[in-house]
Structure 1
């Protein structure tokens, strides 16, 4: 679907009272003033002739626009003729069961929620879903009414929108769009927050730390985002920083770019740090350059991310690892430090 970019107010976090009049507006809903635009993908009017006459497509498209625009503004934004009250955190939304049923999550909630005096009450508990923000949830709710909500997805809220879309379900178009915005938002400035997101870990019995984000609300998008961050670290970031500068057959290291890259790698979770440094696609020069880079990064990590974790990171350069005697590879390891043994004299 396509649509005209709209002007929208910020999400203000004020919820409408469930007993408010039809003119009351829903709390925490994106404000959009432009009409929704359809691409005419609905069945052709010629498929359903009335009295032998086919209605021209422009009239049908215009009629569809009016319906969807009315649903979004009068239904979602103002809560007119609502039959369902949804409570989430401090917000209250007056909504419509027939529209909410597009979401498997909300459809299940409605089927198990009591209904009194013609009104359903739904309570959504997001205490265990910190990635689903107030703004992201509101945009996902709006998408159930109209795809105009896509206009409200920005790099700053895309991950929260993706989380909300995955939680509610039934909105793959929104999730796919939000994911693309997330992927495109990767930059030198944002990589720190993305590394914090990736660093959802569990500690195994041998003391090693293994990333484990597959069971999060993001579903299969969790691994896709992790792969995107890894590719950015290994391929895109060295290119953007111009760590290796080439002139004809000659190449040399750009100290400024290398220093920025070192600072970033000093904050990378260990398993991703290990994979990045060991892969040959890490474009910062030959294996000796990767070895020196890893060694310098580990020194920085000892003062930061690896400080006080009870583990020691080391890097070695192995020779003759391939078919060629001149081949060599970089290996990063992490082992737990042995606790000192105290001898008690009696």
Structure 2
């Protein structure tokens, strides 16, 4: 019987063979048995099957690294063979759709942007995302091509990278790394900027009103985590760094002055929580009360000024454990009434 003509279809350069098998001319049963016997009994050569497969693994890792390096340098940095043009922050990137599709955000943009020419053109509008900086966005874009972008994250750009990574999506490792750099960057020198960031995070709504979407909403879960880290820095790390001990604050100490200056800029809800927290180990209730009063006096000249509210501190005796007897309150100032003569 005449044999059927064979056909071969290639998909991305791969022949349609199963598990790497190849097609051969038909053989007789005896030839098949002999071939099977030889294959089953012949010992594998050392050159075909190296011990533990280590040489192949090493070569595979090296090969993969070469590919990723080529993608990053020739693809991302140079833009060779690009099929997509991305516009953001008055900057233009020549990129590759198959790589950009790793980001759910960019994949959606590509799928919803009309393609009128040979190259796809997409626009990323970040007017409502001030936390996504140009540098942060560029690092996050590069991470789609290679993890080498992690080496570019520094304390000054980590928050912008985190914002960009959260926006683009699909890069949790990058976000976690940038978040850790943010957390480690909190210091006496940087706490002012972090307090401004915390102040822009909206408080949880009680459901009575629809809160405005804040610029920090891009951070998702990381916004609350950073807020918690700032609080921990204020009540635990900062007193340790300034050598403020549980034994009490010396009114003339430089550490107390620095602590007061910082607490004079803390948003009210966090200020209240910090003063009332039992983990804020600065001494007895009386010491904490005196510190809170001095801080509020400074706050009247700063963050509390012009807000139409008056902050006070109360020392209660015998109502709880250490740290639960000092309470901070805020009440609205009454507006003066003007009498109009008829």
Q: 1:101 to 1:259 in 2, by over 3 A?
A: same
Contact conserved, 2:104 with 2:169, CA < 8 A, in 1?
yes
Q: Which runs of 5+ in 1 are unaligned?
A: 1-47
Higher helix share: 2
Match of residue 330, structure 2, among 315, 334, 346 = 334
Which residue is 2:12 aligned to?
none
| Offset of residue 116 of structure 1 | 2.6
**Correspondence 1:219-238 to 2 at 5 A:** 219-238=220-239
**Correspondence 1:268-307 to 2 at 5 A:** 268-307=266-305
Q: TM-score, normalised by structure 1?
A: 0.78
- For the residue of structure 2 that corresponds to 1:312, the secondary structure is strand
Greater CA radius of gyration, 1 or 2?
2
Q: 1:95 to 1:117 in 2, by over 3 A?
A: same
CA RMSD of aligned residues (A): 2.6
Distance 1:99 1:268 in 2: 43
Distance 2:193 2:153 in 1: 18
| Offset of residue 49 of structure 1 | 8.3
- For the residue of structure 2 that corresponds to 1:87, the secondary structure is strand
- For the residue of structure 2 that corresponds to 1:116, the secondary structure is coil
Q: Structure 1, residues 182-238: CA drift from partner, whole Å, max 9, x if none?
A: 000000000000001111166999xxxx99969610000000000000000000000
| Offset of residue 146 of structure 1 | 0.2
Q: 1:262 to 1:113 in 2, by over 3 A?
A: same
Distance 1:149 1:266 in 2: 38
| Offset of residue 167 of structure 1 | 0.3
Distance 2:264 2:87 in 1: 42
Q: 1:212 to 1:319 in 2, by over 3 A?
A: farther
Distance 2:101 2:323 in 1: 60
- For the residue of structure 1 that corresponds to 2:92, the secondary structure is strand
| Offset of residue 280 of structure 1 | 1.1
Higher strand share: 1
Number of aligned residue pairs: give it. Answer: 289
**Correspondence 1:238-257 to 2 at 5 A:** 238-244=239-245, 253=250, 255-257=253-255
| Offset of residue 276 of structure 1 | 0.1
Distance 1:121 1:214 in 2: 26
Distance 2:201 2:136 in 1: 24
Contact conserved, 2:289 with 2:326, CA < 8 A, in 1?
yes
- For the residue of structure 2 that corresponds to 1:86, the secondary structure is strand
Q: Which has the higher contact order (CA 8 A, sep 6+)?
A: 1
Contact conserved, 2:75 with 2:96, CA < 8 A, in 1?
yes
- For the residue of structure 2 that corresponds to 1:306, the secondary structure is coil
| Offset of residue 312 of structure 1 | 0.3
Task: Could you list the structure 1 runs, at least 4 aligned residues long, displaced by more than 2 angstroms after superposition.
Answer: 48-55, 201-205, 210-215, 251-254
Q: Structure 1, residues 121-178: CA drift from partner, whole Å, max 9, x if none?
A: 0000000000100000000000000000000000000000000000000000000000
Distance 1:50 1:155 in 2: 53
Distance 1:179 1:292 in 2: 36
Distance 2:276 2:192 in 1: 21
- For the residue of structure 2 that corresponds to 1:315, the secondary structure is strand
Distance 1:62 1:202 in 2: 48
Distance 2:215 2:135 in 1: 24
Q: Which runs of 5+ in 2 are unaligned?
A: 1-18, 23-43, 50-54
Which residue is 2:129 aligned to?
129
Distance 1:201 1:188 in 2: 21
Distance 1:66 1:318 in 2: 68
